[in-house]
Structure formats: C-alpha cells, structure tokens
C-alpha cells in the first residue's frame, strides 16, 4: 500500500528506460486503484499484477475486487496468499486456495505465496508449515503453467533480516522435492519458485546464484532504483 500517481510515474520511468534482460520476466504488482493508470504508462514488455483478489466474480462483497475486474484493467497476474494477507488480515489456507482456483479459472496467472513465521522456524516446523500451505494451493491448481510459487519467510519480510542464500536454497530444494513426490516430475522441474524477504541490490546476486531460486518477490526495494539491479541479478 504505497505510492500515488506522481511517485508511480517516477518508478515507471525508471523501468521503462532501463535495460532489462530479455529472458527475465518482470511483473509489477500495483495497488488496485492504480492498475488502469499503470497499465497505460508501463512498458508493454513488463507484466502487471494485482496484489489480491476475491474468490467470486461478482456479488455483495464490498471492497473486494474480482479476477474479471483485474483483467479488465489490463493486468494478467495476481498475488495471492501474501504473508500480510495471511497474518494481518487473517486469510486462511482454505480461502487462499479458493482464490487460487477462481483466479486460474478466470484466466489470471497466480503468484502464490507461502512461508513460515519466526517462531515456527525456531520450533523446527518450517517444512510442515510450507508443505501444508503448498498442499492447499496444489489442490486448487488446474494449470501449473500459470502459477509461480513464492517462498517468503515471514521473519525476513521488511525486517532487514534476510534468509541466507543457503537457507533459501534449502527450502526451495525441499519444495521442489515435495512437488516431485506429490504433483509430478514435470511440475517440479518447470515451476518457478521465487524468493521474497528483504531482497536488495546488495544480496540479490548471491541469492540468485542458488540452483533452485528462480527469481524474486521484491518488496521495499521495488520502490527504489536498485530494483533494476535486482532484475539484472543473473546477468
């Protein structure tokens, strides 16, 4: 929940004029009230996502937005299950799964977020937490080609405390093994698993060097010029 038209124009100008790698897909998740505005000014080579949506196409759900509304604004992705939706607004695994199913059925790509809290990591239940969250998402996916899985350890979001490259790789590797055992070899090999949690221009190259880290879900650093450096982390 950041920005206004003036600041968004500055961010878009920085991206529109930047040298971006051809093989890196870039998607910007703007506040819903600015989706139309951003799509009309952002370079077409850059995708657009909403930060959330509801599980229904229409109805008495005041304040919510539907996948059809998102598409009507020119966006083709949505972020679902973000840690703030889970832990600030109390969204359950079940609700997130329903949202994933409806967004995919409506033709949106889904960036599905999972991750553990600090107390869960310290208790040694990281795998149990992220596997449970992933299971509910998997039960609601009908087309894995339109899904990106984002691992975002809650203890590393906006805290300045980043998972080490080794910690990120360990969880990503285990997630890929879970997908191989519970979904299919094809999905395990092809699904993009991205990392989110205080990614910066300083640490992005080390994180990107890990074999199972396929990209990033970028928070605060996306509002700074260093976002371009993060996009180019593997160049």
Stated length of the chain = 235
Task: Provide mean pLDDT across the span 45-66.
Answer: 98
Q: How many Å apart are CA 11 and CA 26, to the nearest integer?
A: 14
* Percent over 70 (pLDDT), the chain: 100
Q: How many Å apart are CA 204 and CA 183, to the nearest integer?
A: 29
* Percent over 90 (pLDDT), the chain: 94
Q: How many Å apart are CA 83 and CA 115, to the nearest integer?
A: 7
pLDDT digits (tens, 9 = 90+) for 141-197: 999 999 999 999 998 877 777 789 999 999 999 999 999 999 999 999 999 999 998
What angle do helix axes 126-138 and 93-105 make, rounded to 10 degrees? 40
Q: Among candidates 138, 52, 123, 148, which has minimal Cα distance to 91?
A: 52
Catalytic residue among 105, 152, 172, 173: 152
**Do 137 and 104 form a contact (C-beta atoms < 8 A)?**
no
| Domain 5-231: CATH class, spelled out | alpha beta
pLDDT digits (tens, 9 = 90+) for 110-138: 999 999 998 999 899 999 999 999 999 99
Active site residue 82: yes
Q: Which two tokens stand for residue 94?
A: 């079940």
Instruction: Supply the pLDDT for residue 2.
Output: 95
What's the whole-number average pLDDT of the chain? 96
Catalytic residue among 82, 102, 116, 172: 82
With 90 as the cut, is the pLDDT of residue 235 above it?
A: no
Q: How many Å apart are CA 77 and CA 50, to the nearest integer?
A: 6
Active site residue 152: yes
Q: How many Å apart are CA 15 and CA 72, to the nearest integer?
A: 23
């Amino acid at each position: 929940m950041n920005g206004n038209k003036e600041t968004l124009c500055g961010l878009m100008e920085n991206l529109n004029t930047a040298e971006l790698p051809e093989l890196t897909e870039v998607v910007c998740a703007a506040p819903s009230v600015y989706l139309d505005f951003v799509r009309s000014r952002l370079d077409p080579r850059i995708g657009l996502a909403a930060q959330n949506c509801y599980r229904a196409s229409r109805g008495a759900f005041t304040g919510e937005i539907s996948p059809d509304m998102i598409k009507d604004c020119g966006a083709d992705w949505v972020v679902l299950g973000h840690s703030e939706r889970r832990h600030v607004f109390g969204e359950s695994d079940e609700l997130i799964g329903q949202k994933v199913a409806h967004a995919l059925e409506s033709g949106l790509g889904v960036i599905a977020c999972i991750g553990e809290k600090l107390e869960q990591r310290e208790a040694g239940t990281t795998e149990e937490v992220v596997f449970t969250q992933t299971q509910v998402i998997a039960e609601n996916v009908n087309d894995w080609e339109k899904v990106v899985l984002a691992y975002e350890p809650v203890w590393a979001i906006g805290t300045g405390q980043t998972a080490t490259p080794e910690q990120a790789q360990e969880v990503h590797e285990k997630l890929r093994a879970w997908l191989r055992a519970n979904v299919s070899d094809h999905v395990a090999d092809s699904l993009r698993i991205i990392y989110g949690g205080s990614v910066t221009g300083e640490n992005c190259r080390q994180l990107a060097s890990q074999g199972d880290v396929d990209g990033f879900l970028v928070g605060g650093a996306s509002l700074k010029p260093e976002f371009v450096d993060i996009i180019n982390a593997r160049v």
